[in-house]
Amino acid sequence: MIIIRKAEERGHANFGWLDSRHSFSFGSYYDKRYMGFSDLRVINDDRINAGSGFDTHPHSDMEIISYVLDGALAHRDSAGNGSVIEPGDVQLMSAGWGIAHSEFNHAEQAQTHFLQIWIMPNQRGTRPGYQQQRFSDADKRGRLQLIVSPDGADGSLTIRQDMRLYAALLDGDEAIDFPPAPGRKLWLQLARGSARVNGQMLQAGDGAALIDEATVRLDAGQDAELLLFDLAG
């Protein structure tokens, strides 16, 4: 079964400096049909204007992934971590028992476009943690590159949950086949471009829940960048 979540049906919040699209209920946007998917709680498609950003704010007991598509995002947190995240970089902040952080676009003109992803952890009240890793376009070209996993396999970031996150670039006649393990649920998020999943075409911003699919085929990509979440059933 495939359930398509069209980009234009997502929640929307525009604060002037931030334009955000919510795949799942978030902030003032509420839809009882979309409260999350397995342990995936948030996918926010965020665009931050130049010279703007999120002031310091707290989180706890959440695994927070930032995936930058365009521009750059400066990160600082109360644990002393500071970095700039650019396209190709993946950041994972484990909020644990509590951490405060800020995210800012310091560019004078360029907008920052990134996906903010929240995963429910399998442990509460743990020590906060911070990881960042770069994955090149070559790593993702025509294949699913593992970028987050519970065991840090293949150089991926280590998350406190039974889930795996893959990233891929797909174009032209490139095709990817992925066989889900029995009982797993998949969520596909198309970050940009267009691509087809099991014969159904997706456009930028679309998501798709894949349940009890024997296999997943990704093809017909046109400048597509996508994320595939492999989640517990």
What is the structure's pLDDT at 18? 96
pLDDT digits 0-9 by tens, 17-75:
999 999 999 999 999 999 999 999 999 999 999 999 888 889 999 999 999 999 999 99
Q: Are 130 and 79 contacting, i.e. CB atoms less than 8 angstroms apart?
A: yes
Determine the Cα–Cα distance for residues 187 and 202; give it in Å rounded to an integer. Answer: 13
pLDDT digits 0-9 by tens, 79-92:
888 899 999 999 99
What is the structure's pLDDT at 77? 86
What is the structure's pLDDT at 136? 95
Domains contained in the chain, CATH given: 2-231 (2.60.120.10)
Which residues are within 8 A (CB) of 113 and not within 5 positions of it... i.e. 6 or more apart?
45, 46, 47, 68, 69, 70, 71
Determine the Cα–Cα distance for residues 75 and 116; give it in Å rounded to an integer. Answer: 13
Q: Which two tokens stand for residue 56?
A: 């310091």
Quote the Cα angle for 128-121-224, to 5°: 100
pLDDT digits 0-9 by tens, 180-215:
999 999 999 999 999 999 999 999 999 999 999 999
What is the structure's pLDDT at 54? 87
Say if pTM beats, i.e. exceeds, 0.95: yes
